[in-house]
């Protein structure tokens, strides 16, 4: 369906009333939203009486200012009531912190720390599976395991006629 003078006038009126392009297309019938937008552009219609979108507040209320965090002070000590009764001396209990010995295979998944060698030792499916556990030098492994894990890049041999013949003999 083409743009008759009557349809163009209806388009201009609806556009000035603030209807959206899809709303205008529905009222006119036989045209798409994009056809309405194209015609509005070609006619040079830019001003609108009302915005097509619902009015939103352009101003957002500022958030309340947070006070700067003060430097943490020393924790307060609450005075305990003193009694005249003698206090029994308790034997020191072993601390739950486990100090890892430097023998390989001393760390488990539960005791593996951030600066410990994570080189796996044994079969992961077995109960005896452990990690190296020594102090990691740089990266996740100790010096010994880092040498194994990080091999220097091998230089590639230039394949000549002799190399080609030798490799072909493998398959013959």
pLDDT of residue 141: 86
pLDDT at 33 over 90: yes
Helix H or strand E encompassing 131: strand 130-131
Q: Which DSSP helix (H) or strand (E) runs through 121? A: strand 120-121
Q: Where are the domains of the chain?
A: 5-43, 100-151
* Mean pLDDT value of segment 136-150: 84
Mean pLDDT over all residues of the chain? 76
> What is d(CA 61, CA 4) in angstroms, rounded to the nearest whole number?
49
**3-state secondary structure (DSSP) of residue 120:** strand
Phi, psi of 169 (to 5 degrees): -65, -25
pLDDT over 70, % of the chain: 65
Q: Is 151 left (phi over 0), alpha (psi -120 to 50) or beta?
A: beta
Q: Dihedral (C-alpha) 56, 62, 64, 67: value to the nearest 10 degrees?
A: 150
CA 98 – CA 104 distance, rounded (Å): 16
Instruction: Using alpha carbons, select from 26, 78, 19, 76 the residue that is nearest to residue 52.
Output: 19
Describe the crossing of helices 21-28 and 5-16 by its angle, rounded to 10 degrees.
Answer: 140
Distance CA 159, CA 157 (A): 6
Please list, in sequence order, all residues whose beta carbon lies within 8 angstroms of the beta carbon of residue 101, skipping any fewer than 6 positions away.
Answer: 133
pTM of the model: 0.32
Give per-residue pLDDT as tens, 109-125: 888 888 888 888 888 88
């Amino acid at each position: 369906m083409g743009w008759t003078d009557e349809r163009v006038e209806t388009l201009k009126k609806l556009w000035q009333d603030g209807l959206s392009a899809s709303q205008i297309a529905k009222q006119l019938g036989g045209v798409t939203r994009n056809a309405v937008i194209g015609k509005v552009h070609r006619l040079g219609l830019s001003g609108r009486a009302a915005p097509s979108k619902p009015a939103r507040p352009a101003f957002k209320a500022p958030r309340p200012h947070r006070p700067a965090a003060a430097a943490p002070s020393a924790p307060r000590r609450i005075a305990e009531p003193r009694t005249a009764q003698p206090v029994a001396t308790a034997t020191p209990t072993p601390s739950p912190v486990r100090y890892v010995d430097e023998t390989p295979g001393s760390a488990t998944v539960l005791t593996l720390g951030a600066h410990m060698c994570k080189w796996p030792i044994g079969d992961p499916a077995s109960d005896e599976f452990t990690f190296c556990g020594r102090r990691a030098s740089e990266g996740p492994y100790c010096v010994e395991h880092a040498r194994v894990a990080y091999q220097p890049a091998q230089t590639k041999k230039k394949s000549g006629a002799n190399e080609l013949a030798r490799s072909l003999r493998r398959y013959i």
